[in-house]
Homo-oligomer: A and B are copies of this chain.
C-alpha cells in the first residue's frame, strides 16, 4: 500500500477521516505510525495529499487529510480482454489498474472456458477490491470502469465501436503483421485474447471494428505477462 485510499463514507468533519480496520492495521502495525506521524493518502476518485495521525484510540484511528495535488495522470489506454482464468483474474486486475488503465471490458471468446463466467471472483465487490489494491499500489485514486461482456458477438458488433471511441485499435496477433508500435501519443484500445488466442472469426470481427493486427514477437506469453509488456510498450511516457 503506497497510498491510503479514503472512501467518502469515512469522512467525519473538518478534514478529519476515520480509518477502516484494514487501513488501521496498516498504519499501526505495518507502518508503525503514532499520533502526529504523516503518510500519503488520497480520496477515492479525488485528489492526493498528506494525512496526519490525529488520534489512536483502541481500534479507532482518526486522521487529518490535506490535499496536495491531482493524482498521477493515466495513459489513454482502454483494454478489451478475454476473460482470464479465475486464478489469474485478480492479479491481472491489480496489474492493469496499477499500470493506469481506466477502462476495461472483460469479454467472452471461443477459447474462454464457460465455467470462468460462473466463478464467484466475478462478483462486482471482489473485482472492485482488486482494482482498489492496484490504485493503492500505484498511488492513484481513480477507479477503472469495468464492464463484463459475456457474449462476444453482440458486444463487438453493437457496442465496441462506441465504447472504444476515437484513437487506434490494436490487436496483438501472431503472424506476418507489422510490429506492435510504441510510445503512442493518441488514445489506444488494446485487445488481448485468451490463452491460445482469438479465433480467426473473432479476429475478423475485431478487424471489422477497426482493430489492426500487430505482431508482438513469436514467443507465446501468458496473458498476465503479455498485458504489462504491451502496456509498457504502447504507453506514452510524459
* A: number of interface residues (CB 8 Å): 34
For A225, give its contact among B2, B95, B179 (CB under 8 Å).
B95
Q: Of residues 202 to 232 in A, which have CB atoms within 8 Å of B's CB atoms?
A: 215-222, 225-232
Would you list 27 pairs from A and B whose C-beta atoms are within 8 A, ordered by A residue? A72-B218, A95-B222, A95-B225, A98-B220, A99-B221, A99-B225, A100-B217, A137-B220, A138-B219, A138-B220, A138-B221, A139-B220, A182-B233, A183-B233, A215-B237, A215-B238, A216-B237, A217-B235, A217-B237, A217-B238, A218-B238, A228-B229, A229-B232, A231-B232, A232-B232, A232-B233, A233-B233
Q: How far is the CA of A98 from the CA of B225 in the complex (A)?
A: 9
A160 interface hit (Cβ, 8 Å): no
A180 interface hit (Cβ, 8 Å): yes
Q: Is there an interface contact between B179 and A182, defined as CB atoms closer than 8 Å?
A: no
Residue of B whose beta carbon sits closest to that of A236 = B179
Residue of B whose beta carbon sits closest to that of A139 = B220
Interface residues of A (CB under 8 A from B): 2, 72, 95, 98-100, 137-140, 179-180, 182-183, 215-222, 225-233, 235, 237-238
